[in-house]
Structure 1
Amino acid sequence: MDFKQLTALVTVSDVGSVTKAARLLHLVQPAVSRHIRSLEEEVGVPLFERTRQGMTLTPAGEILTERARRALLELERARAEIRPDRGPVQGIVTIGLLDSTVEILAAPLVESVARRHPGVSLRLLGAFSGHLRQWLDDGAVDMTLLYNLASTPSISVTPLLHESLWAVAPPDADLAGAGALTWQHLTSRPLVLPVAGHGLRTLIDEALATTGVEPTVACQTNSMLLQRKLVASGTAWTVLPAAGIAQDVATGRLNGGPLTDPEVSRTVVLALRQGSRMPPAVEVVATEVVRVTRRLVENGAWPTARAADQPD
């Protein structure tokens, strides 16, 4: 396998067409087809299903494409790190962001890195904590936000902030007359919750267990966007960290407030792999994540949050 073959594989898988891939790669179509055919001959199995609708990866193709994507990313990182000039820090840094933090953190982080380190290129991946932890272990991301995690022999953790869980209600819900939003109050509503086994769902289940009431779970999903849409439509209520709904509450698309009795919070941390040399670009971006997050907490842009080093 060579660089050109792997690049052709990844590009065709992204666009679903040899013709479009050839255009993007500035190659003639037969050259791209030849790269794919050579790979298939080398591994001994088809990598694509060729249909009228385009090129679709086979199961074997999905496995090889995932590995090829990581290999190409590592080559890009290496090239950026070993450039001979001694100027500003350069490189590619991939960051995992918790879905609930994307809206509040992504834009200021990208702006800050671009202004302070213009030679650094960011790649942001959003997901739930379980996926992010797996991507960090696999080396698919250089660093990631996680929560309620302590350092381990393989992972270095920097606590960033503590934030409360909120009850999230439809926009027409009259919360002013409800008094404190308790978990007991929440169980009287149909709920849309993260799927069982998800880290946030574990926190929710532990809190609900203290009420002694079995909640009505109308739906389970692995999509925070779907949770918000179902609540906005009036279908159900849910529970999310405040950062994940701050903009929706501010614009009136959703309603909500901190849950009490018991109060439940999570600690958001920045996690990096240990045991290998940290490239300069990764180091400066990690510093920016800490700095930008702290600024958002201090100026009140991150609702209900307090810095991890701030006492209760």
Structure 2
Amino acid sequence: MTEVIRHGSVREAARALGLPASLISRRISDVEIRYGVPLFERLPRGIIPTEAGLAIAEYARQQIDETQKIVDYLSNRKAHRVNQISIHCGDGFVEDLMETVMMPFSDLHPDTRVRITVGSTDEIRQAVIDGTSDIGLSYNMEDFNGVSSIVSTHKPLFAILSSRDITDSTHRLTIDDIVGRKLALPTSSHGIRKLLKNIELNHGIHIFPEMESNSFRLLKTFVMSGRGITFMPRFAVRAEIDQGRLVAIPIESHLCEQASVHLFVRSQRTMSVTMRRLINFMKDNLESLSPGATRLREQVVRLNSGA
């Protein structure tokens, strides 16, 4: 069920599972006939789950979580154990994660292996919902269906300029200041682009980038070359600001000021001890989740004993 929903096709699910498509179709049909409830709606280009199909898929995911929980427990009984946790995040979080979380956390918990995958805002949310990743860390996420927010923190969007192109870093840029400049922007599936699209609609303007990339390193290189500007939260360019290579300038826009970072997991996810421990460490140490701005909401996931 979960694979068919993920791929939107029995044939693609069968290929992923290494099973005959006829076997999967037959098992789905058997359940539909037995209970008299359709699990999928057949469309010309694939299938989508019905409400009953989604309920069964969610039940399956919960069973997988419970199974993983007992597997983790049994693994922890071994003398040499390795716990595995996966994080899916935007490219702008990578340096913050490595410096403030991954290296110190690994030193404290050498029995835990963490996998980090970089993706767009849409990809991060979907990976968490599918169970491909345990924890999501995203910027300016708008759709919270299927996920449960652990922490949300205001982290404004700034205009990022080369330090050579500005003499006064204390002033603010207006939306009119941005129009006409050469821009390098993340791709359209990133939360930053979604925010800029809302600005375009509100101000009746069109923001056209000279370059698009899902690599923040390329975007920063574009700016440091003096070619133009980009937009990022300050934590994503902390190193370059400290080195005097880039400057973060506030933008006169309530949309930019209200942009947020979100740490989240799948809704109704059963969290292991290791997962809770890592989440708490991220909450306490990530600059991107620091209380320098207002905490919007926080779900208590503390362990009763010293996590």
Range into which the TM-score falls when normalised by the shorter chain: 0.5 to 0.7
Which residue number corresponds to residue 4 of structure 2?
A: none
Matching residue of 1:140 = 132
3-state DSSP class of the match of 1:176?
Answer: coil
Aligned to 2:158: 166
**Aligned-partner SS, 2:106:** helix
1:295, distance to aligned residue in structure 2 (A): 9.6
Matched letter for residue 165 of structure 2: A
Equivalence for 2:234: 242
Q: Secondary structure of 1:96's match?
A: strand
Please report how far the alpha carbon of residue 145 of structure 1 lies from its aligned counterpart in structure 2 after TM superposition. Answer: 0.7
2:219 maps to 1:231: no
Q: CA RMSD in A?
A: 3.5
Residue 277 of structure 1 aligns with an amino acid whose one-letter code is T
Q: Is 1:272 the equivalent of 2:260?
A: no
How many residue pairs match? The answer is 236
Letter in 1 for 2:83: G
Distance in 1 of aligned mates of 2:246 and 2:129: 35
Q: Distance in 2 between matches of 1:291 and 1:176?
A: 33
Residues 37-72 of structure 1, C-alpha deviations (whole Å, 9 max, x = no match): xxxxx889xxxxxxxxxxxxxxxxxxxxxxxxxxxx
Conservation of the 8 A alpha-carbon contact between 2:185 and 2:231: yes
Q: CA deviation digits over 1:158-181, x for unaligned, max 9?
A: 124110101011231125188322
Equivalent positions of 1:125-136 (< 5 A) are 125-136=117-128
Q: Deviations over 1:115-166 (max 9, x none)?
A: 4433222222222222212221222211111244589673221124110101
Under a length normalisation based on structure 1, what TM-score does the superposition of the two structures give?
0.64
Q: Are the aligned partners of 1:89 and 1:117 in contact in 2 as well (CA < 8 Å)?
A: no
Aligned residue for 1:166, secondary structure, equals strand
Q: Which amino acid aligns with 2:146?
A: S
- Of 122-131 and 229-238, more deviation after overlay is shown by 122-131
How far has the Cα of 1:81 moved from its partner? Answer: 3.7
Partner of 1:108: 100
2-structure distance, mates of 1:229, 1:195: 16
The within-5 A match list for 1:72-91 is 80-83=72-75, 85=77, 91=83
Tell me the secondary structure at the aligned position of residue 77 of structure 2. coil
Q: 1:121 aligns with which of 94, 105, 113?
A: 113
Q: Secondary structure at the match of 2:286?
A: helix
- Matching residue of 2:195: 203
User: Deviations along 1:233-286, whole A, 9 cap, x unmatched?
Assistant: 122211111111121122122223121144513221211123453222112112
Deviation at 1:76, TM superposition (A): 9.8
Q: Does the C-alpha gap of structure 1 residues 296 and 215 become closer, same or farther in structure 2, counting only changes over 3 Å?
A: closer
SS at match of 2:150: strand
Separation (CA, whole Å) in 2 of partners of 1:194 and 1:151: 19
Pick aligned residue for 1:281 from 274, 281, 304: 274
Query: Percent identity at matched positions?
Result: 21
Q: Distance in 1 between matches of 2:194 and 2:118?
A: 20
Q: Equivalent residue for 1:256?
A: 248
Question: For 1:170-185, what aligned pairs fall within 5 Å after superposition?
Answer: 170-176=162-168, 179-185=171-177
Bigger shift: residues 267-276 or 150-159 = 150-159
Contact 2:261 2:289 in 1 (8 A): no
Q: Aligned in 2, Cα 1:202/1:262: closer, same or farther, shift over 3 Å?
A: same
CA pair 208-251 structure 1, distance change in 2 beyond 3 A: farther
Alpha carbons of 1:81 and 1:175: their partners in 2 closer, same or farther (altered >3 Å)? farther
What is the rounded CA distance, in whole Å, between the counterparts of 1:221 and 1:189 in structure 2?
A: 17
Map of 1:55 onto structure 2: none
Counterpart amino acid of 2:188?
A
Unaligned runs of 5+ in 1: 1-41, 45-73
Opposite residue 265 of structure 2, the aligned amino acid is L
Give the Å deviation of 1:109: 0.8
TM-score normalised by structure 2 residue count: 0.65
